[in-house]
A and B are shown apart, each in its own frame.
Chain A
């Protein structure tokens, strides 16, 4: 039966390949975490002051006589931009997903799907450029504020970037709801809106939560567009018209020219560890939420 012919070897080889593919993600993620922790460790154990890091907005790592490493302004900056982006992206992408998934038919649907996917393919530096050169003047003129590179600008840009991905995933989630549900509801005399709001949306809840959380992840991780559109200014924002600075943008802007092994370099890696932990927490919550819903 178990003859070791060519097919057997091919079978074995593919098995190993698939196994390596499966565990490589785990190995890579552990490897990355070990690397950034190793680079940041020297700072964490010596200069790091947790109170300063989380409560002081003074990020001044290159000061010659008194360097300070307060990341509060950066954390608040990232949170405010992401928050606004999600507020903007969720209604748009949910609406788009419902229209594409439930109402549009034939050519309209196909064209819309392709266009949404095309929107997702625009490079982030192009979005950043739009923020820097078009949105800046627009915001100054519309709202009569001193500068247009602020939370509003970065939030809108990031919202537009996150929306296509959220739309695609949300639409997949709606499509995964069995047609039998819709037919049953219609048989009971429900209108189309009732079908969508009372049957399809609750049934697709898992996927919709996943879509929103993926958008949040995108917001936290996005760098280039945020760097260009947020103003990159160390500030605790009091309104959407204040310029802010994001964690990712700080690492991107400063890491390139810091001496390897210096306090500044290690402090940037500490920001990296912090970012890593946040995204890990977001994904973990997403997973737990989904499991909790599934149990019900």
Chain B
């Protein structure tokens, strides 16, 4: 009698063991998240914290650029695409032809800071001055034209530091500062990544560059930008939140259709106070002002 019981228990355990393992695997959902390099640090921080919020959901984050993320979302290989720009009409068409109706989620704002060398005495720039420096046909090539004298920059030449031509930052700066139909002046140093821009500017007295505020270090100077109301606004999380800074852009997450289940819960959490405090701590602005204590 006793032996039979032991046998039954063992049999039951053997029968149950693999099943319970399978069930464990099934309940752990994996969300694939890919795209913008601007957003990748924040996306990773969200994914990291979300492990504690819901241990049954794992979020895998990869960078690669806004375009890469969007095309992966269209091809169905990722659940959420990060983008530092809006989807282009062409991309939306392509998605529709794949039977996907992309849904846009604004998850934060990013101030694009203009950087100069710390020895550069400049206080602020007007948008027209930036257009004159960077834009095709712009006539500002020398710091002399701006009345500036920079120690260590004898040639007075403005060394323009820009980004490679498929970066979301490159496109946004062009559209906002130069105007939609304008092009950049050729001959700028097109860095592959925001960090390289900051590194180069901090070592080059003649240089000017731009990138997301989140990449700023103490080794570079960030001049203020003049608005239409003749105020000069310094780039900061605060000035991006209250929308007073003129070159701040929204950051997006795109999903293929209205999300459900774990993905929906994840996006809701990102837009909750907890998620928004994380994006603020990374140097970006939350969608609405939050109190993070």
B157 contacts A by Cβ under 8 Å: yes
B207 contacts A by Cβ under 8 Å: yes
Per-residue A-contact encoding for B120-144, CB less than 8 Å = 1, 0 else: 0000000000000000000000000
User: On chain B, which size bracket covers the interface?
Assistant: 35 or more
A233 contacts B by Cβ under 8 Å: yes
Asked if B155 contacts A232 (CB within 8 A), the reply is: no
A144 contacts B by Cβ under 8 Å: yes
Known contacts: A57-B186, A147-B189. The answer to whether A257 contacts B68 by CB under 8 A is yes
A227 contacts B by Cβ under 8 Å: yes
Write the chain A residue with the least CB distance to B206: A146
Contact of B68 among A66, A137, A256 (CB under 8 A): A256
Q: Hey, which chain B residues are within 8 Å of A132, CB to CB?
A: 196, 199-200
B71 contacts A by Cβ under 8 Å: yes
Write the chain A residue with the least CB distance to B156: A146
* CA gap between A228 and B206 in the complex, in Å: 19
Per-residue B-contact encoding for A254-278, CB less than 8 Å = 1, 0 else: 1011111000000000000000000
Known contacts: A132-B196, A132-B200, A145-B155. The answer to whether A253 contacts B67 by CB under 8 A is no
Interface residue ranges of A124-153 to B (CB < 8 Å): 132-133, 136-137, 140, 144-149
Asked if B166 contacts A257 (CB within 8 A), the reply is: yes
Write the chain B residue with the least CB distance to A236: B187
New A-B pairs, 8, CB < 8 Å, besides A147-B189, A234-B186: A60-B165, A65-B181, A137-B203, A147-B159, A149-B189, A227-B192, A232-B190, A259-B67
Write the chain A residue with the least CB distance to B187: A235
Interface residue ranges of A33-82 to B (CB < 8 Å): 57-66, 73
Write the chain A residue with the least CB distance to B183: A63
* CA gap between A160 and B198 in the complex, in Å: 26
Q: Chain A binding site: helix, strand, loop or mixed by DSSP?
A: loop
* CA gap between A2 and B206 in the complex, in Å: 80
Contact of A253 among B90, B94, B186, B190 (CB under 8 A): B190
Q: Hey, which chain A residues are within 8 Å of B191, CB to CB?
A: 232
B102 contacts A by Cβ under 8 Å: no
Shortest distance in angstroms between A250's beta carbon and chain B's nearest beta carbon? 9
Interface residue ranges of B150-194 to A (CB < 8 Å): 152-155, 157, 159, 164-167, 171, 180-181, 183, 186-192
Write the chain B residue with the least CB distance to A133: B199
Asked if A257 contacts B67 (CB within 8 A), the reply is: yes
Q: Hey, which chain B residues are within 8 Å of A259, CB to CB?
A: 67, 71, 90-91, 94
B65 contacts A by Cβ under 8 Å: yes
* CA gap between A64 and B207 in the complex, in Å: 27
Write the chain B residue with the least CB distance to A60: B183
Asked if B155 contacts A64 (CB within 8 A), the reply is: no
Contact of A144 among B67, B154, B180, B186 (CB under 8 A): B154
Q: Hey, which chain A residues are within 8 Å of B94, CB to CB?
A: 259
B257 contacts A by Cβ under 8 Å: no
Q: Hey, which chain B residues are within 8 Å of A101, CB to CB?
A: none
* CA gap between A133 and B167 in the complex, in Å: 22
Write the chain A residue with the least CB distance to B168: A257
Shortest distance in angstroms between B54's beta carbon and chain A's nearest beta carbon? 32
Asked if B203 contacts A258 (CB within 8 A), the reply is: no
* CA gap between A257 and B85 in the complex, in Å: 13
Most B C-beta atoms less than 10 A away, residue of A57, A65, A132, A259: A259
Top 8 closest pairs, chain A to chain B, by CB: A257-B166, A257-B67, A146-B206, A253-B164, A257-B65, A62-B165, A146-B157, A147-B159
Which residues of A line the B interface, CB within 8 A? 57-66, 73, 132-133, 136-137, 140, 144-149, 227-228, 231-235, 243, 245, 253-254, 256-260
Known contacts: A63-B183, A228-B196. The answer to whether A147 contacts B65 by CB under 8 A is no
Asked if B203 contacts A254 (CB within 8 A), the reply is: no
B64 contacts A by Cβ under 8 Å: yes
B205 contacts A by Cβ under 8 Å: yes
Shortest distance in angstroms between B12's beta carbon and chain A's nearest beta carbon? 52
Write the chain B residue with the least CB distance to A224: B192
Q: Hey, which chain A residues are within 8 Å of B154, CB to CB?
A: 144
Known contacts: A232-B191, A257-B67. The answer to whether A147 contacts B206 by CB under 8 A is yes
Per-residue A-contact encoding for B79-105, CB less than 8 Å = 1, 0 else: 000000000001100100000000000
Asked if A61 contacts B165 (CB within 8 A), the reply is: yes
Asked if B186 contacts A140 (CB within 8 A), the reply is: no
Q: Hey, which chain B residues are within 8 Å of A59, CB to CB?
A: 186
Known contacts: A65-B181, A228-B196. The answer to whether A254 contacts B204 by CB under 8 A is no
Asked if B203 contacts A231 (CB within 8 A), the reply is: no
Q: Hey, which chain B residues are within 8 Å of A140, CB to CB?
A: 152, 203-205
Asked if B67 contacts A231 (CB within 8 A), the reply is: no
Asked if B204 contacts A243 (CB within 8 A), the reply is: no
* CA gap between A144 and B154 in the complex, in Å: 7
Shortest distance in angstroms between B82's beta carbon and chain A's nearest beta carbon? 13
Write the chain A residue with the least CB distance to B155: A146
* CA gap between A131 and B17 in the complex, in Å: 57
Asked if B186 contacts A258 (CB within 8 A), the reply is: no
Asked if A60 contacts B65 (CB within 8 A), the reply is: no
Shortest distance in angstroms between A256's beta carbon and chain B's nearest beta carbon? 6
Asked if A258 contacts B166 (CB within 8 A), the reply is: yes
Asked if B64 contacts A256 (CB within 8 A), the reply is: yes
Write the chain B residue with the least CB distance to A241: B155
Asked if A258 contacts B207 (CB within 8 A), the reply is: no
Write the chain B residue with the least CB distance to A148: B204
